[in-house]
């Protein structure tokens, strides 16, 4: 329900207080202005004082018969009621003795009464209109439930264009057909081509799907109606369907136009997939049904294109994705190396960048980051530069910002005991040693025992290139690296702690995917099942899976086999490099943070030669994102 803004609310309450105040003043005016009090006496007392010549003034009201008088040598006023008829000679005699006698004759004018009625009627009218306006506002709020809450951006407002979006050349080229249709629909109509009614942008969060939709409207110069999926939902059933109808009616009036529905999965979820006895939420399903009808009901020549954005296309209803509705799906992936550099350049455009900053190096050191992540990285670098008192952003600020984004804020206030600090050092040393010596593991960037985020220590690895396919060797090395902390604690202390809980959870998830989804188990073979879910059956919530109990036991057995193999491999490697483990842990206890290059030097010195030989095939250590890119460039050359 729309509510008035704070300024309008204040004005209404101020008017109400003013009206009430004026009424109170008018009602209390006689008592406010009649400040002189009088004492009532009997008529006999008054007459006795009159004939004895003890009064200084007499005021007679002929209409009411009331008499107001004052005694000589007294300032108080007295009043009485009764007849008085004094001849003129007696009045003259009283006046001669100093008594002032006056008579009040009522006026025959009716204007005071008319004015009084006008004032009271006017105040009543103001009060009545005030309360009627409030009631009308509440009724209009109730009636506006069914209206669309889309934000309409007209063509006069400056808009985003493709030039404002760095990278994504393939996506922009594919989506430019929508721009051409909105600009010149006659070209498509002449040849008989049917343009898509709906375009669905699919991609991870932060990749710029909303920005791309806005750029389409900016390039075409048409109205852009933006709404989120949650804007259709209300507590009353049928409100969402009414808002969908109002949205499409508004778009038809402004055609050619673009309707953009962000987070469309909130209303486009598969029908019957909810956790209710009826198979889903009635309001959501009615909203989806109305949207399906609207998209199927309007003619493409109307010039209305519906664009949606989601990061979960697998849960959308199939009827929403069929031809004639969302005809085209465009994937907006995470930016690759060639796209991250121009994205960084856009976000650095209005910032003071130092001469030592190389965006190509930063782009190489940020694989897997979305456009929103890169914007956050640049902003964190700027904040770090301000904290250290610099007038420009330098490369060290980007290094610190990357640590902040990936590892979290350092918790300097959290003090570990010496025993805990030592255990964390051995735990992180186990990760660092395996990250350096295993051939397919990602290169080691740095290791720290300073608490950051939710972790007591962090071992950070840096992939030097974007990966889209993961070989089994890489996955097995990743499992072994995560097992390194647990194994190191067991080797040094002979017991275990809770420090490896996150490592074990991530390893279990990865091993389960190897067996159940990627077919990397000899016992299971080339078979794949989706992740387990839940469904509502009758009156209880039961688990759902697409394989038998026997297969489930085999899956559990294979997952345990893979994890135990990773633990055995990590123990063998750490036993072989035990001296390096002790030296790295000692260095960590002294410095708290050691970069990858220093870890490599310590391990090589422990054995008198480089562990990987003189010319390693793949670099396995780097001191920072600068060093990482240096090794990458050397390999490429």
pLDDT value, residue 541: 42
Q: Residue 60: beta bridge partners? A: 67, 103
More confident residue, 93 or 622: 93
pLDDT score, position 620: 45
Q: Which two tokens stand for residue 550?
A: 């026997």
Most confident of 119-123, 147-151, 218-222: 218-222
428 is catalytic: yes
Beta-carbon contacts of residue 73 (< 8 Å; ≥ 6 apart): none
Is residue 339 within 8 A of residue 366, CB to CB? The reply is no
Q: What's the residue count for the chain?
A: 637
**Whether residue 212 has pLDDT greater than 80:** yes
- How far is C-alpha 52 from the geometric centre of its chain's CA atoms? 92
C-alpha separations of 235 from 145, 232, 238, 245 in Å: 10, 10, 9, 18
Point out the catalytic residue in the list 428, 489, 567, 598. 428
433: confidence class by pLDDT, cuts 50, 70, 90: very high
Greater confidence (550 vs 159) lies with 550
String of b and e for 159-180 (b: at least 16 CB within 10 Å)?
bbbbeebbbbeebbeebeebbe
Q: What is the pLDDT of residue 118?
A: 78
First to last CA, the chain: 64
pLDDT tier, 135 (very low <50, low <70, confident <90, very high otherwise): low
Pairwise pLDDT comparison (185 vs 558), residue with the higher score: 558
In this structure, of 57-71, 223-237, 295-309, 398-412, the range with the lowest mean pLDDT score is 223-237
Q: Greater confidence, 421 or 19?
A: 421
Mean pLDDT calculated for residue range 602-607: 82
59-68, 322-331, 480-489, 584-593 — most confident range: 480-489
Q: How much of the chain, in percent, has pLDDT values that exceed 90?
A: 11
Please state the rounded mean pLDDT for residues 104-121. Answer: 67
Q: Which two tokens stand for residue 631?
A: 């090794």
pLDDT of residue 123: 72
Q: Which residue has the tokens 């103001």?
A: 126
pLDDT at residue 450, as a whole number: 81
Query: Residue range 173-186: average pLDDT?
Result: 77
In this predicted structure, the answer to whether residue 479 has a pLDDT above a threshold of 90 is yes
SS in 3 state form for 454-493?
Answer: CECCEEEECCCCCCCCCCHHHHHHHHHHHHHHHHHHHHHH
Q: What is the pLDDT of residue 573?
A: 92
Closest residue by Cα to residue 512 from 472, 545, 556? 556
Preceding peptide of 425 cis, ω within 30°: no
- pLDDT at 174 (0 to 100): 79
pTM: 0.62
Per-residue pLDDT tens digits for 2-35: 444 455 556 666 666 676 666 666 655 555 444 4
Confidence band of 594 (pLDDT split at 50, 70, 90): confident
Give the lowest-confidence range in 234-248, 371-385, 406-420, 618-632: 618-632
pLDDT at 61: 76
């Amino acid at each position: 329900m729309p509510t008035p803004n704070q300024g309008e609310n204040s004005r209404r309450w101020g008017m109400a207080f003013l009206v009430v105040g004026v009424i109170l003043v008018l009602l209390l005016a006689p008592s406010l202005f009649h400040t002189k009090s009088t004492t009532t006496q009997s008529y006999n007392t008054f007459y006795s004082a009159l004939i004895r010549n003890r009064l200084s003034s007499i005021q007679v009201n002929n209409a009411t018969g009331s008499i107001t008088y004052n005694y000589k040598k007294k300032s108080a006023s007295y009043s009485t009621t009764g007849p008085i008829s004094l001849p003129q000679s007696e009045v003259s005699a009283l006046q001669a003795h100093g008594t002032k006698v006056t008579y009040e004759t009522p006026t025959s004018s009716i204007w005071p009464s008319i004015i009084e009625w006008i004032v009271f009627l006017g105040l009543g009218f103001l009060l009545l209109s005030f309360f009627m306006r409030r009631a009308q506002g509440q009724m209009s709020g109730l009636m506006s439930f069914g209206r669309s809450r889309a934000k309409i951006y007209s063509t006069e407002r400056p808009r985003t264009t493709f030039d404002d979006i760095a990278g994504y050349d393939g996506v922009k080229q594919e989506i430019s057909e929508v721009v051409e249709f909105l600009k010149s629909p006659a070209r498509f109509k002449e040849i008989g081509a049917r343009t898509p009614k709906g375009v669905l942008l699919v991609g991870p969060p932060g990749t710029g799907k909303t920005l791309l939709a806005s750029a389409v409207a900016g390039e075409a110069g048409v109205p852009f109606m933006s709404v989120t999926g949650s804007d259709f939902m209300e507590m009353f059933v049928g409100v969402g369907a009414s808002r969908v109808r109002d949205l499409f009616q508004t778009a038809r009036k402004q055609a050619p136009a673009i309707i953009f529905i962000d987070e469309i999965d909130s209303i486009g979820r598969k029908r019957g997939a909810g956790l209710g006895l009826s198979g889903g939420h009635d309001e959501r399903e009615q909203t989806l049904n109305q949207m399906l009808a609207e998209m199927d009901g309007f003619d493409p020549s109307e010039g209305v294109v519906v664009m949606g954005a989601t990061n979960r296309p697998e849960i959308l209803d199939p009827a929403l994705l069929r031809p004639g509705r969302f005809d085209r799906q465009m994937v907006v992936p995470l930016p690759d190396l060639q796209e991250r550099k121009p994205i960084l350049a856009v976000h650095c455009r209005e910032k003071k960048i130092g001469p030592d900053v190389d965006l190509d190096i930063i782009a190489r050191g940020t694989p897997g980051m979305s456009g929103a992540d890169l914007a956050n990285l640049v902003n964190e670098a700027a904040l770090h530069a301000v904290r250290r008192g610099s007038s420009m952003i330098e490369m060290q600020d980007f290094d610190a910002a990357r640590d902040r984004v990936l590892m979290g804020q350092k918790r300097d206030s959290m003090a570990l005991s010496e025993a805990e600090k030592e255990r964390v050092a051995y735990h992180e040393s186990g990760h660092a040693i395996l990250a350096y010596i295993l051939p397919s593991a990602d290169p080691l960037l740095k290791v720290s025992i300073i608490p950051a985020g939710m972790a007591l220590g962090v071992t950070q690895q840096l992939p030097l290139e974007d990966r889209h396919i993961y070989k089994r060797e890489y996955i097995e090395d990743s499992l072994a690296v995560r097992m390194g902390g647990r194994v190191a604690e067991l080797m040094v202390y002979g017991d275990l702690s809770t420090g490896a809980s996150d490592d074990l959870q991530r390893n279990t998830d990865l091993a389960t995917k190897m067996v159940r989804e990627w077919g990397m188990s000899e016992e299971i073979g080339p078979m794949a099942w989706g992740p387990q879910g839940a469904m509502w059956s009758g009156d209880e919530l039961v688990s759902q899976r697409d394989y038998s109990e026997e297969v489930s036991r085999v899956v559990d057995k294979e997952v345990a086999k893979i994890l135990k193999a990773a633990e055995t491999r990590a123990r063998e490697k750490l036993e072989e490099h035990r001296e390096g483990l002790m030296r790295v842990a000692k260095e960590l206890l002294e410095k708290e943070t050691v970069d990858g290059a220093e870890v490599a030097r310590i391990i090589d010195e422990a054995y008198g030669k480089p562990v990987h030989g003189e010319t390693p095939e793949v670099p396995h250590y780097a001191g920072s994102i600068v060093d990482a890119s240096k090794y990458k460039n050397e390999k490429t050359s």
